[in-house]
Amino acid sequence: MSRRTLSLLLVALVAPFTGSAAQPVSFDREVRPILTANCFHCHGPDAESRKADLRLDREADAKPALKEVLARISHSDPEEIMPPIKSGKKLTATEIATLRAWIEQGAQWEQHWSVKPLQRPATPKLPSPQADWARGPIDLFIRAKQSEIGVAPSAEADNRTLIRRMTFDLTGLPPTPAEIAAFEAAAKTNRDQAIAFVFTVRFQRL
């Protein structure tokens, strides 16, 4: 086996497990979407289509079945594997690894994010060059995520590009030459105020 083949094989073997093992799996963001897409049709709230009298959408019903869930999602017997082959649904290796990691981490359930009380998250603490990029607390969250996934912010757009983007975004049309000139002039004095003005005017017209 060549070194290249070997390293590709290693990547293929390790890839499904990285991420899920390293950090806690989020029920809301990672697990629920897998269950919703692949299991709830037959093990969800709808009694009409429910199979095997098993509900996986409620913690109390699902908890006792988790060991069996673990066995069924990667079962070698095509008669036993879940979701059933004839349903046309199939879990990917990554999805199986996510479910496994979540169960091994203690299967923490979460309420759906839309019904949870709002909580202000702690603002990320960033080292100096990254933190300096942020103009407000929301930017800190964006910059922290960028660092996490290894991307850097794009260079700031010039005023002409910016008014073009904003106008397209708000109306679907380009700005008029007069609007460009007005924005460029206003942005020289106070760019943030000029941006806010474009939004206010556009929203009034919508």
Enumerate binding residues for ligand HEC (CB under 6 A).
38-39, 41-43, 51-52, 54, 56, 65, 68-69, 72-73, 80, 82-84, 87, 89, 91
Kindly tell me which of 84 and 124 has the beta carbon lying closer to ligand HEC.
Answer: 84
Question: Is residue 146 within 8 Å of residue 129, measured between CB atoms?
Answer: no
Q: Which of 65, 68, 73, 71 is CA-nearest to residue 95?
A: 73
Q: CB of 98: closest distance to ligand HEC in angstroms?
A: 11
d(CA 133, CA 139): 8
CB 45 → ligand HEC: shortest distance, Å? 14
The CB-of-49 to ligand HEC minimum distance in angstroms stands at: 8
DSSP 201: H
The nearer residue to ligand HEC, 99 or 140, going by C-beta atoms, is 99
Indicate the helix (H) or strand (E) that contains 187: helix 177-189
CB of 203 to ligand HEC, least distance (A): 44
43 or 143: CB nearest ligand HEC:
43
Nearer to ligand HEC, 50 or 160 (CB): 50
As a whole number of angstroms, the distance between CA 195 and CA 166 comes to 9
Nearest residue (CB) to ligand HEC, 61 versus 158: 61
Contacts of residues 79-84 at CB distance under 8 Å and 24 or more positions apart, as own/partner, are: 82/39, 83/38, 83/39, 83/42
